[in-house]
Amino acid sequence: MNRNDLRRVDLNLLVIFETLMFEKNLTRAAEKLFLGQPAVSAALARLRDLFDDPLLVRNGRGFEPTARALAILKELQPAMDTISGAVSRAREFNPATNRDTFRIGLSDDAEFGLFPALLKQIREEAPEVVIVVRRVHFLLMSAMLASGEISVGVSYTTELPANAKRRKLREMKVKVLRGDDRPGALTLDEYCSRPHALVSFSGDLCGNIDNDLARLDRSRRVVLAVPQFSGLRSIIAGTEMLATVPDFAAAALIEGTRLRADDPPFELVNSDLSMVWSGVTDNDPAERWLRSKIIEFMGEPGA
């Protein structure tokens, strides 16, 4: 196919193709693209004709890409990234008048403890933009960046897509949240003997804190796991229960309450809160502005 032949290829079809390859589901692809399912079905029929391949074949209740579809996706993605980047760099960005939709992935602690101040500033500088927040953690971040569901994410991170970039925002220090009125700091024995609540996205009953305790040949007694930080405020109040949380989440949780946030009675191995983003949007003026705001309001205080 030469450059002239490209005129008969609808770029929208290629965007739909990419989304279908990631979602493997017509309904979810339609929702993500803000299209009706009949429109996506019609686009899939045109794509099958264009590439002379079924592309998606039914496998049980779902669909799976054909080998040919996966090969096309591998060749197509870098080209689409290049086009997207070129178009983005060509436009100007004025936060006061811009009406973009930003899709941000946030871990629950970052959303609860750091996002409100960031959102307030964004609303002041760019009142017409739309913010869509998606819940992420280190297991979801890579796939959501690769699929374009988010353009930037803030969380503890591990593996990332090859074209992703990462910047450390702050060291994740922790505090022990408590709602009792006992005077004095916690001892290690008291910390280990009292009941604990933790925030667990997956419902697990252990985390990095337990690894740190295990190095001291100690353990804690977890009696409750909740899916988000906001619930801890009422759960901990007036009880013997403890919760070990990031310092920025603790600051938000104790504000306007009688809760306290103590230093832990043992040494911990701190992790990092990082911002990660797709290399495709690295030079996009709007995304660069958004990342600068994230650094300013989610980064280390005074940095």
* Domain CATH code at residue 31: 1.10.10.10
**What CA–CA distance (Å, rounded) separates 213 from 198?**
15
Residues 6+ apart with CB under 8 A from 161: 142, 145, 146, 278
Query: Are 194 and 132 contained in the same domain?
Result: no
Query: Are 113 and 158 contained in the same domain?
Result: yes
Query: Are 43 and 192 contained in the same domain?
Result: no
The model's pLDDT over 126-142, given as tens digits with 9 standing for 90+, comes to 999 999 999 998 788 88
**For residue 83, what pLDDT is reported?**
74
Query: Are 162 and 285 contained in the same domain?
Result: yes
| Whole-number average pLDDT of the chain | 88
HEC secondary structure over 5-70: HHHHCCHHHHHHHHHHHHHCCHHHHHHHHCCCHHHHHHHHHHHHHHHCCCCEEEECCEEEECHHHH
**For residue 194, what pLDDT is reported?**
96
Q: Is the alpha carbon torsion for 102, 133, 272, 166 positive or negative? A: negative
Q: Which has more confidence, 182 or 86?
A: 182
**For residue 122, what pLDDT is reported?**
97
**What CA–CA distance (Å, rounded) separates 34 from 65?**
22
Q: Which of 125, 106, 111 is nearest to 286 (CA)?
A: 125
**For residue 283, what pLDDT is reported?**
84
Alpha-carbon Rg for the chain in angstroms:
23
Query: Are 10 and 55 contained in the same domain?
Result: yes
**For residue 92, what pLDDT is reported?**
74
Q: Residue 261 — left, alpha, or beta (φ > 0 → left; ψ -120 to 50 → alpha)?
A: beta
Please tell me the total count of domains within the chain: 3
Partnered with residue 275 across adjacent β-strands are 154, 167
Q: Which of 136, 141, 144, 146 is nearest to 159 (CA)?
A: 141
Laid out side by side, the sheet with 260-262 consists of 221-226, 195-199, 242-246, 174-178, 260-262
Query: Are 167 and 277 contained in the same domain?
Result: yes
Q: Which of 60, 56, 58 is nearest to 40 (CA)?
A: 56
- Percent of residues, the chain, with pLDDT higher than 70: 94
**What CA–CA distance (Å, rounded) separates 212 from 218?**
9
Query: Are 136 and 115 contained in the same domain?
Result: yes
Query: Are 130 and 167 contained in the same domain?
Result: yes
**For residue 89, what pLDDT is reported?**
59
> Last residue of some domain: 70, 89, 108?
89
44, part of any domain: yes
**For residue 117, what pLDDT is reported?**
95
303, part of any domain: no
Query: Are 50 and 12 contained in the same domain?
Result: yes
33, part of any domain: yes
Query: Are 34 and 183 contained in the same domain?
Result: no
283, part of any domain: yes
Asked which of 27-36, 101-110, 267-276 is least confident by mean pLDDT, the reply is: 27-36
The model's pLDDT over 8-23, given as tens digits with 9 standing for 90+, comes to 677 888 888 888 888 8
Cβ pair 150, 287 in contact under 8 A: no
Answer whether residue 2 shows pLDDT above 60. no
**What CA–CA distance (Å, rounded) separates 221 from 209?**
12
Query: Are 103 and 132 contained in the same domain?
Result: yes
Report the CATH number that the domain containing residue 236 is assigned in CATH.
3.40.190.10
User: Residue 293: in which H helix or E strand, if any?
Assistant: helix 285-298
Q: Which domain holds residue 127?
A: 98-172+272-298
The model's pLDDT over 227-241, given as tens digits with 9 standing for 90+, comes to 889 889 999 999 999
148, part of any domain: yes
